[in-house]
Structure 1
Amino acid sequence: MRAVNVCYCCPWRLLLLHFLCSSSMGSPSPSTDPEKKVGSQGLRFRLAGFPRKPYEGRVEIQRAGEWGTICDDDFTLQAAHVLCRELGFTEATGWTHSAKYGPGTGRIWLDNLSCKGTEGSVTECASRGWGNSDCTHDEDAGVICKDQRLPGFSDSNVIEVDHQLQVEEVRLRPAVEWGRRPLPVTEGLVEVRLPEGWSQVCDKGWSAHNSHVVCGMLGFPGEKRVNMAFYRMLAQKKQHSFGLHSVACVGTEAHLSLCSLEFYRANDTTRCAGGSPAVVSCMLGPLYATSTGQKKQQHSKPQGEASVRLKGGAHPGEGRVEVLKAGTWGTVCDRKWDLQAASVVCRELGFGTAREALSGARMGQGMGAIHLSEVRCSGQEPSLWKCPSKNITAEDCSHSQDAAVRCNLPYTGVETKIRLSGGRSRYEGRVEVQIGVPGHLRWGLICGDDWGTLEAMVACRQLGLGYANHGLQETWYWDSGNVTEVVMSGVRCTGSELSLNQCAHHNTHVTCKRTGTRFTAGVICSETASDLLLHSALVQETAYIEDRPLHMLYCAAEENCLASSARSANWPYGHRRLLRFSSQIHNLGRADFRPKAGRHSWVWHECHGHYHSMDIFTHYDILTPNGTKVAEGHKASFCLEDTECQEDVSKRYECANFGEQGITVGCWDLYRHDIDCQWIDITDVKPGNYILQVVINPNFEVAESDFTNNAMKCNCKYDGHRIWVHNCHIGDAFSEEANRRFERYPGQTSNQIV
């Protein structure tokens, strides 16, 4: 009996001893061998959804033979690390929420998943328990893993998706090939790219919903009717290669692959019997209808419908989403932000469906109100305001959670008409444009006269290279090509054009003051840019009048900070009347704001005791209601530094000790009301009602992602002794109607501001 007892007990003691030893001697780092992860036994993992790359997607777990998903509540990058290792990747680079890769089906296995990131298995993470969730599949979490496999990992535990055909690319092929057809192509046979090449789609059962989805993918807001009799007649005379049939879309899908569809098998001998190739005709959005010279589509808007706009994007159809409420623009919180809501925005603006629904202020932070949160759209709504949403409160959301979109755009081919040469990277170089007609095309240069930041913005946009860092008028250091002819001159852009051809320029006759390739236009482009914004409320709160004695203004006079009449004053007796206010300038973009000039050209100012890096950074003006300037600030130059920053941002720039100058993303530069030249000399201004205007970066010397928010305006009443400043706002913060009311403001009859 004793021997039997020993044999019975020893294995358990040995197992316990082995467990204790392995626990005390093991490394805290996660195991890289999936076969040894006991906690994951019985579980299988896969990445699913579309569109996606092989190392990203919706996370699905198979437990007890049933596949399910994970809710995004409390999901973090640490949880993504654990799941990516379960999937055989070394680590995670990001994660997604709100079913970015489409909603899953079946159970939601995990909710409120909380991991430290070092766990060897997802079963070691805290959660509400298997199958215990209050989420819907609209909250399915996804991961983006680093495209690097764990050493020796067996793919038996990784099921990415069934290896089925997917529709990754769609195009419209014009049925009639002769002649030069303008881009974009708006009507033609629907073709999908399959492994064996481009194939047509059988039109049996084809519906308007299918056409709506195809047009959205191709960058068009909607579809229109087609003359099918014409296309059926053509179909009888041609051979077709059908690869897809039985397409059934609801109409809200952002991609054709999200629709129900069937592929023909290789051994199918009869394809689309009695049918024809599917044909679609799409409507151009207003932006492209105007730029291509086609008749602008008239979209009737319901009475009282709020507007929507995109801000801060480098390209058309991308940017931070802002909506209009009660005459004021505000942002949208990214909670539950998804492709359906983003697609409603894109179509409302005249683009196609959304290519990406971006969260986390990926297109820069807004300022002011946040109007919407937890927007839930079906995809059929004509406006974002028609979607259910949550009333926002101050503690609900911050501007670090501003939602943004990237929309599908029509292919116009403008990027083939421009190129850069001679630069050190593809983001810089001398600008070359293609002119002429087919058969007689040639490349040429652009005259550098008057070429600046606005023109460079359009060139970088046309090239698809993001924002403009610099517009250069001399490019002798990039003289590496054999193109020497100057073919375009007098280019003047507003900054919003889609291509340089849409900018004003000399026609066939080229006029250039400085000849030679040395003085031709160049650009330096960047994926990111700064975005400066003035804190308008602070101007209103701090504005006051000071009568400052002349004997205290010698330094200011030296820097030309006083009105011209000060030169004839009886120095040092008398005084000047100054309107003083504080100016707080925020950088809400995605790149630091740096002065254009290098340190070698900065100017030392003895009065201030530091170097100034920009001659003209801000204009201060007093205007009459009709726009006539009656006084202006003469601040000679500026020193740029980080005065304060948001909690999680560190200061990088300071003026003292010849330090680096600039404004970091998430920081602001404060010019207090009591420093020299932070004023407007109003000694000669008569009593009346005026507009106070402050413009940042007025000459566009430094590139920004958005120049439309650089001006601030206030109403003000001056009675000869006191001044009342009110209604201060950023230039693009109001609706057009609210701006008209501001400009027509009759003025105050008393000092009672209402």
Structure 2
Amino acid sequence: MPGVPLTSHSELRQFMCSSSSSKLSSCNSHHCRDRRASAVSLALPRTPLSARGAPSPPAMKLHASRACAPKVATPLPPSPPLVLLLLLLLLGVTGCWGQGEADNSEGDGSTPGVDAAEPAVKVRLAGPTRRFFEGRVEVYFNGEWGTVCDDDFNLQSANVVCRELGFTGANTWAHSAKFGQGSGPILLDNIYCNGEERSLIQCQSNGWGVHDCKHSEDVSVICLEKRLPGFEGHEDISNFVEMLPSERLFTEVRLKPVLRKGAKRVPVTEGVVEVKHGGRWSRVCDAGWAEEEARVVCGMLGFPSHRVFDAQPYRAHLKKRTHGYWMRDVNCTGNEVHLATCRFRTVPARNNVTGCRDGGPAVVSCVPGPGYAHSHNSGFRKAYRSEQPLVRLKGGAQMGEGRVEVLKNGEWGTVCDERWNLVASSVVCRELGFGAAQEAVPGARFGQGTGPVHMTQVACKGAEKSLTDCKFSEVGGNSCSHREDAAVRCHVPAMGFETRIRLTGGRNEREGRVEVLVDKGNGKHKWGYICSEDWRTLEATVVCRQLGLGFAAQAMEIRLTGGRNEWEGRLEVRRSKRWGTVCGDGWTTLEAMVACRQLGLGFAVHALTETWYFQGDSGVEEVLMSGVQCSGTEMSLAHCRHHGSRVKCKRGGGRYAAGVVCTESAPDLVLNSRIVQESAYLEDRPLHLLYCAAEENCLSASASAMNWPYGSRRLLRFSSQIHNVGRTDFRPKAGSHAWVWHQCHRHYHSMEVFTHYDLLTLNGTKVAEGHKASFCLEDTSCEPGVQKRYECANFGDQGIAVGCQDIYRHDIDCQWVDVTDVAPGDYIFQVVINPNYEVSETDFTNNAMKCNCKFDGHRVWMYNCHNGDAFSAEVEKLFDLYPGENNLIS
């Protein structure tokens, strides 16, 4: 056999083996950097692994190739590697051992050398402040987690990892510990996959624990966000439905209220079941129809349950009418999240009218959750509100979505996303009064929680009344962090509010002038403005939610017009079939949050009190809504207080109409209460050291009457550490051109009111307060692997990045409360972040922290420090008579 001659004897010395060497990896060798340039290229037969650690048979066929590009190897009877090496050198064969084409002669479709029944190895993505689909690759072997070296890793290997984790594939991969260095053993090296393997253990490698790497070479992957259908760790309804054959595919279900009594009811809770297939609505034959099928339909439409009712009026109404059927013999268990995942038969098009002679159209009556119940259910709603919920959702922009938190021993905590799936998510959704789950969301995509992690490996059957009824494991040690907090997106009833408000004139769909639609009578409608007097970010948030970026309104439609995209524009409202604008007076972040929620546009970035650049509809100039005041949690602007039909807008509409700019995600600031409790102390500070503080008005009023520079002030000092646990950076509302230069501190302050420090009596009366005039926002410290982005020095940009903390030490100016004039006694010490809601956040309820404070005139004790929403109402009462402020506006 002809061969390629060796160019020099030195090339033989690249492999120094002994007769006891069982594989080339145990020989001293140089790496083959340029594999295609090698005249003779030899490679170790890297073997597939078993989950129990035993390698598959190592010997492989040899295939001639000038390049040592790895390929799937097929088994051969074992041969000593040294003998094969000498044989190859003598024959001059150009080839790569263990890297040939797969031999599929057996035709069983299995990966060579791997037992088809072999269980998959555990794989996870780790690393600081990562998104749920990216991170450092870690595998579990022999009782511990370890990392994977980046040698020979490629996109095919990344595809295998991502599919094993439930994603459809990999977007890219990263070498050199991009997501931080691991701390355990390095378990795998020189991994090669052809991309078709179902598990990482089916790929070739050096074997468990055999490597020549450091943790600086840990490999990471970034997967595609789309999930595989049926994956246990995370599921999305669309994945199930999209995988159905086209002839059985349908995505929408509705209840058609054919009877007059339910024609105008919102939401529609009763009617004939129809499915949309091939662009047409068709009915479902009720042959074999039972309560299980009704439960699935109601869950898809946002209702937690169904009810048994008298369907005879429907049968009488529909008896003499012809119907087009597409679906029959539906068989569900009742726990499915989509009717398409149940067993059913399709009715051929030629028989769509006669295909249900043994039945009639399926009719369903659903029971709405407390938040959507009609007024005649007021008694039920009152009973519901009086109960202490065991589960809540936090951090979501829209109704029915957010991070899952459970109440245990009076303290709220999160749920780990390990094994989190649609079944468990649906139990949560129904428990909270929504329908089935649309998506089981892992990876803290709605922000990280701050309390304990109460549950992991939740396993529900689907019929449980509460998540606490499901089987789960306790979280031990550091097995699950808040970077793995589970969340849900639930089906919610269609209220139709997003079409009654609009944004106009914005640069995009998420910003613009607010306009409303008003009915002028005689079937005529008109768009008009909302008065922007006192228009705040809170009002703007309401608008964004109403536009489909959040909650919905009851009797008022809203829209955005004139924006550059769908996320911005002037807000327009429809009232009585007439569109008009919203007065910008008094429009704040809270109102804007509700608007964005109603529009389905997430959170509000800006609450615009003037919309000069959002022209909107030229025929919409009338102000139809003014005096809007929202708490920020409403479903629509109609649920907020306003002037009603008596519109009062000083500046009028037009350029002074309200507008919003919405965004998909927002920051979330949380104060570290433990730091406050541990750092509090008293200091008598001489007046000659307080000139800068006096200039910034950081002292009580009595200080001005003292004989400066003689004397001192008694200060309650403490440190505060403010974390951003949200999904985007916290940025000041004002641009850098509006920041204020402070000569004493030699830097700019970007927010005049960022935090309130208050000392209160037990009945809530303020006896002293911090007078810190303004704040400079920066990343003082960050989590491992997170880079600082903001700093106050050197005229730097200001803000708090995700995963970072802004720390105000106890020894800096104005980081105190002047208690010189306070009498000894028991008090409540309270800190509130972002008190004026100037910047939108995913959750305002965790912005307040309070402590019990005992002051004897010379010493101070802080105890029971906690965030405002950390405990149940019953436990909260135990702290003291006054519950403190928790940003919940009633």
TM range (shorter): 0.7 to 0.9
Q: Tell me the CA shift for residue 267 of structure 1.
A: 4.2
Contact 2:417 2:484 in 1 (8 A): yes
Q: Aligned equivalents of 1:42 and 1:354: distance in 2?
A: 46
- Counterpart for residue 480 of structure 2: 397
Q: Scaled by the length of structure 1, what TM-score is found?
A: 0.82
Query: Which residue of 375, 387, 391 corresponds with 1:308?
Result: 391
Q: Tell me the CA shift for residue 274 of structure 1.
A: 3.2
Q: Aligned equivalents of 2:367 and 2:606: distance in 1?
A: 36
- Counterpart for residue 367 of structure 2: 283
- Look up the equivalent residue of 2:271 and give its one-letter code: G
- 1:577 matched to 2:714: yes
- 1:627 matched to 2:711: no
Contact 1:37 1:120 in 2 (8 A): no
For structure 2, the residue ranges without an aligned partner over 5 or more in a row are: 2-39, 41-59, 73-98, 126-133, 139-151, 170-186, 205-228, 525-576, 884-890
Contact 1:226 1:279 in 2 (8 A): no
Q: Aligned equivalents of 1:125 and 1:685: distance in 2?
A: 67
Contact 2:160 2:193 in 1 (8 A): no
- Counterpart for residue 593 of structure 1: 730
User: 121-130 or 455-464, which moves further after superposition?
Assistant: 121-130
- Look up the equivalent residue of 1:578 and give its one-letter code: L
- Counterpart for residue 606 of structure 2: 470
Q: Tell me the CA shift for residue 741 of structure 1.
A: 2.1
- Tell me the percent identity: 52
Q: Aligned equivalents of 1:678 and 1:18: distance in 2?
A: 73
Q: Tell me the CA shift for residue 628 of structure 1.
A: 0.3
For structure 1, the residue ranges without an aligned partner over 5 or more in a row are: 3-12, 30-35, 46-59, 102-112, 131-136, 148-158, 747-754
Say if 1:79 and 1:22 are closer, same or farther in 2 by CA, change over 3 A: farther
Contact 1:72 1:97 in 2 (8 A): no
Alignment of 1:398-437 (within 5 A): 398-436=481-519
- Look up the equivalent residue of 1:648 and give its one-letter code: G
Query: Which residue of 544, 553, 556 corresponds with 2:681?
Result: 544
Q: Aligned equivalents of 1:27 and 1:129: distance in 2?
A: 11
- 1:355 matched to 2:438: yes
Question: C-alpha offsets along residues 419-448 of structure 1, whole Å, 9 cap, x if unaligned?
Answer: 111111111111111222682322111111
The total of aligned residue pairs comes to 679
User: 267-276 or 579-588, which moves further after superposition?
Assistant: 267-276
- Counterpart for residue 323 of structure 1: 406
Query: Which residue of 248, 252, 264 corresponds with 1:169?
Result: 252
- Counterpart for residue 523 of structure 2: 439
- Counterpart for residue 22 of structure 1: 66
Q: What secondary structure, in the 3-state scheme, does the structure 1 residue paired with 2:330 have?
A: strand
Q: Aligned equivalents of 2:861 and 2:802: distance in 1?
A: 33
Q: Scaled by the length of structure 2, what TM-score is found?
A: 0.70
- Counterpart for residue 150 of structure 1: none
Q: What secondary structure, in the 3-state scheme, does the structure 2 residue paired with 1:362 have?
A: coil
Query: Which residue of 337, 343, 346 corresponds with 1:254?
Result: 337
Say if 1:691 and 1:573 are closer, same or farther in 2 by CA, change over 3 A: same
Say if 1:79 and 1:142 are closer, same or farther in 2 by CA, change over 3 A: farther
Q: What secondary structure, in the 3-state scheme, does the structure 2 residue paired with 1:216 have?
A: helix
Q: CA RMSD in A?
A: 3.9
Contact 2:715 2:820 in 1 (8 A): yes
Say if 1:27 and 1:549 are closer, same or farther in 2 by CA, change over 3 A: same
Query: Which residue of 113, 122, 127 corresponds with 2:201?
Result: 127
Alignment of 1:593-612 (within 5 A): 593-612=730-749
- Look up the equivalent residue of 2:845 and give its one-letter code: T
- Look up the equivalent residue of 2:422 and give its one-letter code: L
Say if 1:280 and 1:79 are closer, same or farther in 2 by CA, change over 3 A: farther
- 1:212 matched to 2:261: no
- Counterpart for residue 702 of structure 2: 565
- Look up the equivalent residue of 1:166 and give its one-letter code: L
- Counterpart for residue 735 of structure 1: 872
Query: Which residue of 637, 646, 653 corresponds with 2:774?
Result: 637
Q: Tell me the CA shift for residue 263 of structure 1.
A: 1.1
- Look up the equivalent residue of 2:372 and give its one-letter code: Y
Contact 1:98 1:338 in 2 (8 A): no
Q: Tell me the CA shift for residue 261 of structure 1.
A: 1.3
Q: Tell me the CA shift for residue 166 of structure 1.
A: 2.3
- Counterpart for residue 479 of structure 1: 615
Q: Tell me the CA shift for residue 160 of structure 1.
A: 6.5
Query: Which residue of 709, 723, 737 corresponds with 2:846?
Result: 709
- 1:682 matched to 2:819: yes
- Counterpart for residue 337 of structure 1: 420
Q: Aligned equivalents of 1:471 and 1:43: distance in 2?
A: 67
Contact 1:444 1:485 in 2 (8 A): yes
- Counterpart for residue 666 of structure 2: 529
Q: Tell me the CA shift for residue 140 of structure 1.
A: 5.3
Q: Tell me the CA shift for residue 37 of structure 1.
A: 9.4
Say if 1:730 and 1:267 are closer, same or farther in 2 by CA, change over 3 A: same
Q: Aligned equivalents of 1:243 and 1:20: distance in 2?
A: 58
Question: C-alpha offsets along residues 145-172 of structure 1, whole Å, 9 cap, x if unaligned?
Answer: xx9xxxxxxxxxxx97655412321110
Contact 2:666 2:726 in 1 (8 A): yes
- Counterpart for residue 107 of structure 1: none
Alignment of 1:39-54 (within 5 A): 39=102, 41=104
Q: Aligned equivalents of 2:464 and 2:235: distance in 1?
A: 29
- Counterpart for residue 234 of structure 1: 317
- Look up the equivalent residue of 2:66 and give its one-letter code: S
- 1:73 matched to 2:156: no
Contact 1:69 1:140 in 2 (8 A): no
Contact 1:222 1:283 in 2 (8 A): yes
